[in-house]
Amino acid sequence: MAKSKYDLEKRRYVIGAVAVGIVLVYIVRLFTLQVMSDDYKKNADSNALLKRVQYPSRGVITDRHGRLLVYNQPSYDIMVVMSEQEGVDTLDLCESLGITKDFYVRRMAEIKDRRRNPGYSRYTQQLFMSQLSSEEFCVFQEKLFRFHGFYVQRRSIRQYQSPHAALLLGDIGEVSPADVEEDDYYQNGDFIGKQGVERAYEKQLRGEKGTQILLRDARGRIKGRYKGGQLDTKPVPGKNLTLGIDRELQALGERLMEGKLGSIVAIEPATGEVLCMVSAPTYDPRILVGRQRGKNHSKLHHDHLKPLLNRAIMGQFPPGSTFKTTQALTFLQEGIITPETAFPCYGGFICRGLKVGCHAHASPVKLVPAVGTSCNAYFCWGLYYMFGNRKKYKTVQEAMTVWKDYMVSMGFGYKLGVDLPGERRGLIPNAPFYDKAYRGSWNGLTVISISIGQGEVNATPLQIANLGATIANRGYFITPHVVKQIQGETLDTLYTKRRYTMVERRHYETVVQGMRRAVLAGTCRKADIPGIEVCGKTGTAQNRGQDHSVFMGFAPMNDPKIAIAVYVENGGWGADYGVPLGALMMEQYLNGKLSPESEKKAEMYQQRHIDYGTAER
């Protein structure tokens, strides 16, 4: 009897515990549905209210003279609310939008797939189809009343004034899931800058969204604005950008680089503003607008010549003899040489069985004519004596570290910090690099090729142009940047502050004299422009195939307005392509136009193409 009473008591506790558990489960579920989840709220709101996102107009982009580069034009998106889709004639809908039934079915499945569309809710508007033109919208609008649950949302898409500066300006495309997760400003179907200025200045260009709340009746018909629009918020337009780019100079650069691989970069030395940034091959930015963007982008992506690669900031090449100017400055500052120091050059640099060839010129040669004639031997001897100077440096590793620090101070070896995504750093080797490569047993002869911009040294065309700006300024540069002005904002101090090198101004004056001599009586004679004192330095960068043609220079000599680097892959000697193209660019910028004779030269170089074959690069 006692045992039976005990079992009854135990059973009562078990039943009570089960009952309490069930109540707790219901409480937790109700709390989750009513407090933690907004599905019911959305359902209730969607019955009476319709929230429409008001997209801001994106900021326009102009060149340094206020000439339009990028602007907006009207576009329309088709939105759908799944919970309101009732009795829609899908065939009629597809015909009105010019799509197939397969596309309709596939798109609906994509919208409902929470893996591809994490923010999906059947009570809120989802993007069905984007970027309808005004003509397509007019056709669809006439039948819109037939398609319950479908709405039209007005926005704008980008348009480009000319077919130039595609990689610099960039483009916009639909946000990725990562974009949505990273920034709650975006929702699926929104657009974001994908590259170039559009990407780098996305937050300034995009503006702020607004919201319009509309009241609906029981049948879902719009009855007007909720509370007379008191709760609406207006969109805030994006900020306009003024670039340092000169539209005409950019157009000429792209014209001259037709049929070639390489880059032209021009900088205003006094401000660091990029005057042009050409990467070849390029493409018309207008092909990446609208619903054909994905198809055209895929074609560009698979092109073996890589038109989507911005060679100006992503290409890493040997700077060739343009790099000799950095060596002259380093040797002068370190006291390894003086302007009067002369070195022999009888066919090149010859030391302990090692020979680095050179072209014919007078010998021995001093520094200024060595820069003017681009003597290989002179700079090889300079590096040899610097790395072997045990009175000044205890080891070759110490000498290498000092050398590297000079190169870094001149803007090499690290990213300059240009306001564009994707910049590469190039390569300036250091002592540990060579210790590892040669197991600690190396000397100046081992690495002698770095003195003439070969070997392990790599630089971007932007860094070479920046070297020209630094020499033009006699010892400092301002970080290169493509944006000149942001509406209502000031530029980051990075783009206004002077960055000084480790070399005194007086040594730059010596190198400037050498670069002027190169134009008057040396390797840059094709850069001589009547009435303008041009300073230049050629480069012929060795390559596995045909050599690269390089030019770096600035003008005028004593009041520099433009510094430029031209890099033509497989273009041969620096004087073959680099020098004449650089001269045409400087003439266009400084004179505002080309002379009739120069125009003929421009046409000739435009038509002169280089055969790169079809092999993958």
What is the pLDDT, as a whole number, of residue 7? 60
Task: Compute the C-alpha angle 221/226/228, nearest 5°.
Answer: 125
Over residues 473-512, the pLDDT tens digits come to 999 999 999 999 999 999 999 999 999 999 999 999 999 9
Looking up tokens 């001149």 gives 410
Whole-structure pTM value: 0.86
Cβ contact 51:211 at 8 Å: yes
Cβ contact 556:532 at 8 Å: yes
Q: Which residues of the chain have pLDDT under 70?
A: 1-14, 16, 28-48, 50, 119, 216-223, 614-617
Task: Compute the C-alpha angle 146/121/58, nearest 5°.
Answer: 80
Cβ neighbours, 10 Å, residue 438 = 12
Could you tell me the sign of the dihedral formed by the alpha carbons of 298, 301, 304, 310, in that order? positive
In the chain, residues under CATH classification 3.40.710.10 are: 247-289+312-482+493-607
Q: Where are the alpha helices (DSSP H) in 121-215?
A: 134-141, 166-169, 177-182, 196-200, 202-206
What is the pLDDT, as a whole number, of residue 10? 63
DSSP character string of 181-198: HH-TT--TT-EEE-SHHH
Fold adopted by 247-289+312-482+493-607? Beta-lactamase (3.40.710)
By C-alpha distance, which of 205, 188, 146 is closest to 419? 205
Over residues 409-466, the pLDDT tens digits come to 999 999 999 999 999 999 999 999 999 999 999 999 999 999 999 999 999 999 999 9
Second-level CATH architecture of 52-243: Alpha-Beta Complex (3.90)
Cβ contact 578:283 at 8 Å: no
What is the pLDDT, as a whole number, of residue 139? 82
Upstream peptide bond of 421 is cis (omega within 30 degrees of 0): no
What is the pLDDT, as a whole number, of residue 32? 63
Tokens of 267: 């900088």
Calpha distance 579→553 (Å, rounded): 9
Q: Classify 374 in phi/psi space as left (phi over 0), alpha (psi -120 to 50) or beta.
A: left
